[in-house]
Structure 1
Amino acid sequence: MRIGFYAPLKPPDHVAPSGDRRMARLFIQLLRNLGHQVDILSTLRSYNRDGDAARETDTAMAAAREVERLGMAWQTDPATRPDLLFTYHVYHKAADYLGPALKQRFRLPYVIAEPSVAPKREHGPWAAGYAQAARAIHAADALLPITALDGVCLSAFAGAEKVHAFPPFLDPRPFAAAATERERHRATTAQRYGLAPERPWLLAVGMMRAGDKMASFLRLAEMLALTIDTDWHLLLVGDGPERAAVEQAFSFAADRVHFAGQLEGGELPGLYAACDLYVWPAINEAYGMALLEAQAAGLPVLSVDTRGVPDIVRHGETGWLTADDKPATLAAALSSLLGDAARRHSMAESAIQHVGTHLSMAAAQRRLQGIFAGLGLPA
């Protein structure tokens, strides 16, 4: 099939790295792996962080122009018209104005991956975005929620028959390969960052920006301050406008906290494999791609049982999820895990198997083939 792909929150070629951009690119790769031609419909960004009414109106007008542009192009050259519209990530802050209009005008099947609905946003600053996201969700032929929580809400909102659970995924091969060379990666990492190999190494990966990411960094610092008597190194990967604030938050252990900065994707598998435990409070995080990457490389995860995190981390099997994100709760779990190398090793092995079986690109391909077949589309 020829598939028209659209990501209203952040285009796949956006300069700023994020889990959202990563997931959009993975869906494109997934569709291409299945033999489909993928065309980016538009780079129009509908993201409205603050619910600004004028911005939403401008987006709607720009989208109408995009619909006309695409319509004229497809009428001029019918061979360029897609067989399927595929939109990634739709919610009240990033509504899809293209998909519903193009579906109606050209009678095309329409699929949304990672849709979500928050009825409390029906009124208030995001009312217009919520209404358009709702129109898109109702217009879609299939909804592919990333988390179980979103799936429950969507089933009640749009009908369970349209909802197909679709957990996040990745290509686990470079991560699994790195796990087989853990000692080599550990030696390289120790030399590069000045880490003591005999100490346990903690790892966290995230953009250093205001909001939820910063909240997680601050909570991580609070948690580690309570375990200052425990022997550990912490390696932080990421950068951003709040880098100085993050450095200040961890200044209590400056000799044990190492800042790696922003790394290229190819450098991460070896880093995950070299460390002993991935630590991240995941405050208001949908699920966390880094949690998935860590497990793929055999790095057990310490996080919180919140939102979509339990959809990818199996508590007690591939990691440990605390009941809340209080610093004392997290610190107690960290101390327990650092004192039990055998349990961490067991979790590491289970994590690699879990990702390979359930959260891999191959598993996602099988899942999507079944969904397309159910819609009467070529798989």
Structure 2
Amino acid sequence: MRIAFYAPLKSPNHSVASGDRQMARMLVKALEHGGHSVELASELRFYLREPEPQSFDALKIEAREEAARLTRLWERDGKPDLWFCYHPYYKAPDLIGPELASTFAVPYVTAEASYSRRRNAGLWADTQALVVQAVEQAALNICFTQRDRQGLADAIPQVALHMLSPFIDTSVFHEMPARGCPTRLVAVAMMRPGDKVESYRMLAQALGQIGHLPWTMSVVGDGPARDDVKALFAGFAAERIEWLGAIDPAAVPDVLYGGGIYVWPGYGEAYGVAYLEAQAAGLPVVAQDIAGVPEVVRDGQTGFLTPPHDVAAFASAIERLLARKDERTIMAEEARRFILEERSLDVAAAHLAELLPKISVS
């Protein structure tokens, strides 16, 4: 099948690393793994940071121009067999695919579409209406989390919804090197205002409660809030925390292998690709039972999910894994098994291969 792939929030080729970019790349890989030919339909980034009508109007003009370009291309070279849109939501609706798919009688598919009634105010109500139209048109809507599935089901009854668990390419984790330092904590996250800073804040507060223990920590990440994040950890001795900054994604596994426990509170995480990678490397996770984190971490089996906003519970979970070697080892082994056997590219590709042949034009 020839598939036109589009990610309005962030192209797979975007220069800035993020979970969105990584999952877009993983979906392309999974589709190709299933024998499909995948072409990036457009790199237009349709993203509204704030509900500004002027910005929205400007982006709509760009979207129309891009749709006209693709129309000419398809008329000349032939249309694709499928339009696959990754992660349309209120700040990044798909303004290209639905109309093209309808005009050319091409099946339309979404993955990780989301809808939240609390966003229905002002311009966001208009952009969410566009998401609703796309989801209603789609022959298939692939959901990565039960939270997203429920949001779509509640708002748009009788649409075609199917689950696909979040996954990663586990090939780089198949070889297990010698275990790293068991008291080495690891966190991998961008440094930007909002949920990321709040997670760093909670992490700093929790570590402050277990300063008597002999832990060290490696932090991978950078961003506009770098100074604010580092200020949160100013009370710790310099030798305790290694700030690695933004590193090549290919280097992240080595950092994970060098650690013993993955720690990240997870405010606002859709699910968190980094949690999957950490577990694939054999690191048990300490996170909050919040947002989409329970979709990728099994509480009590591959790590601990603590009550939201409870700093003391988060600190206690880290302390428990630092102190109990046997429990930490069991969780590490189960975390690695869970990802390699259940959340791999091969598993996702097989699931997609079952779903896609069943679709038709809505």
TM range (shorter): over 0.9
Using the aligned pairs only, state the percent identity: 38
Q: Retained in 2: the 8 A contact 1:6–1:86?
A: yes
**C-alpha deviation, 1:160, in angstroms:** 5.3
Q: Distance in 1 between matches of 2:150 and 2:301?
A: 25
**C-alpha deviation, 1:376, in angstroms:** 6.1
**C-alpha deviation, 1:280, in angstroms:** 0.3
Structure 2 counterpart of 1:181: 177
Q: Distance in 2 between matches of 1:89 and 1:140?
A: 13
Runs of 4+ in 1 over 6 A off after TM superposition: none
| Among 290, 297, 300, the residue aligned to 1:316 | 300
| Among 136, 139, 149, the residue aligned to 2:137 | 139
Structure 1 counterpart of 2:65: 65
Alignment map for 1:14-29 (pairs within 5 Å): 14-29=14-29
The residue type paired with residue 143 of structure 1 is N
2:360 aligned with 1:364 = no
Q: Distance in 1 between matches of 2:30 and 2:350?
A: 10
Q: Distance in 2 between matches of 1:274 and 1:233?
A: 11
Q: Distance in 2 between matches of 1:339 and 1:18?
A: 33
Q: Retained in 2: the 8 A contact 1:10–1:21?
A: yes
Q: Secondary structure at the match of 1:320?
A: strand
Mark the runs of 5 or more structure 1 residues left unpaired by the alignment.
187-196
| Among 161, 164, 168, the residue aligned to 2:162 | 164
| Among 290, 296, 303, the residue aligned to 2:274 | 290
Q: Distance in 2 between matches of 1:167 and 1:307?
A: 15
Q: Distance in 1 between matches of 2:18 and 2:161?
A: 26
Q: Distance in 2 between matches of 1:130 and 1:31?
A: 27
Structure 1 counterpart of 2:95: 97
Q: Distance in 1 between matches of 2:195 and 2:123?
A: 20
Q: Distance in 2 between matches of 1:83 and 1:374?
A: 13
Alignment map for 1:265-304 (pairs within 5 Å): 265-304=249-288
Q: Distance in 2 between matches of 1:135 and 1:32?
A: 28
Q: Retained in 2: the 8 A contact 1:216–1:280?
A: yes
Q: Retained in 2: the 8 A contact 1:52–1:126?
A: no
| Among 232, 244, 258, the residue aligned to 2:227 | 244
Q: Distance in 2 between matches of 1:125 and 1:107?
A: 30
2:345 aligned with 1:345 = no
Structure 2 counterpart of 1:191: none
Q: Distance in 1 between matches of 2:33 and 2:9?
A: 24
**C-alpha deviation, 1:70, in angstroms:** 0.8
Q: Distance in 2 between matches of 1:176 and 1:298?
A: 11
TM-score (norm 1): 0.91
Q: Retained in 1: the 8 A contact 2:139–2:360?
A: no
User: What is the CA deviation profile of residues 13-54 of structure 1, one whole-angstrom value per residue up to 9, with x for unaligned ones?
Assistant: 111110000000111111111121111111111111111121
Q: Distance in 2 between matches of 1:349 and 1:364?
A: 22
TM-score (norm 2): 0.96
Structure 1 counterpart of 2:149: 151
Q: Distance in 2 between matches of 1:160 and 1:139?
A: 12
Q: Distance in 2 between matches of 1:203 and 1:60?
A: 42
Q: Distance in 2 between matches of 1:325 and 1:18?
A: 24
| Cα RMSD for the two superposed structures | 1.5
Q: Retained in 1: the 8 A contact 2:34–2:350?
A: no
Q: Go from structure 1 to structure 2 and tell me whether the alpha carbon gap of 1:160 and 1:289 turns closer, same or farther (over 3 Å shift).
A: farther
2:192 aligned with 1:209 = yes
The residue type paired with residue 275 of structure 2 is L
Q: Secondary structure at the match of 1:47?
A: coil
User: What is the CA deviation profile of residues 265-293 of structure 1, one whole-angstrom value per residue up to 9, with x for unaligned ones?
Assistant: 22111221221100000011111111010
Q: Distance in 2 between matches of 1:27 and 1:363?
A: 12
Q: Distance in 2 between matches of 1:376 and 1:94?
A: 25
Structure 1 counterpart of 2:312: 328
Q: Distance in 2 between matches of 1:136 and 1:182?
A: 48
**Per chain length, whose mean CA-contact separation is higher, i.e. which structure has more relative contact order (CA < 8 Å, sep 6+)?**
2
Q: Retained in 2: the 8 A contact 1:154–1:160?
A: no
Structure 2 counterpart of 1:233: 216
Q: Secondary structure at the match of 2:224?
A: coil
Structure 2 counterpart of 1:194: none
Q: Distance in 2 between matches of 1:176 and 1:295?
A: 12
**C-alpha deviation, 1:158, in angstroms:** 3.0
**C-alpha deviation, 1:232, in angstroms:** 0.4
Mark the runs of 5 or more structure 2 residues left unpaired by the alignment.
none
Q: Secondary structure at the match of 1:246?
A: helix
Q: Secondary structure at the match of 1:9?
A: coil
**C-alpha deviation, 1:77, in angstroms:** 2.4
Q: Secondary structure at the match of 1:182?
A: coil
**C-alpha deviation, 1:182, in angstroms:** 2.5
Q: Retained in 1: the 8 A contact 2:136–2:159?
A: no
Q: How many residues align?
A: 360
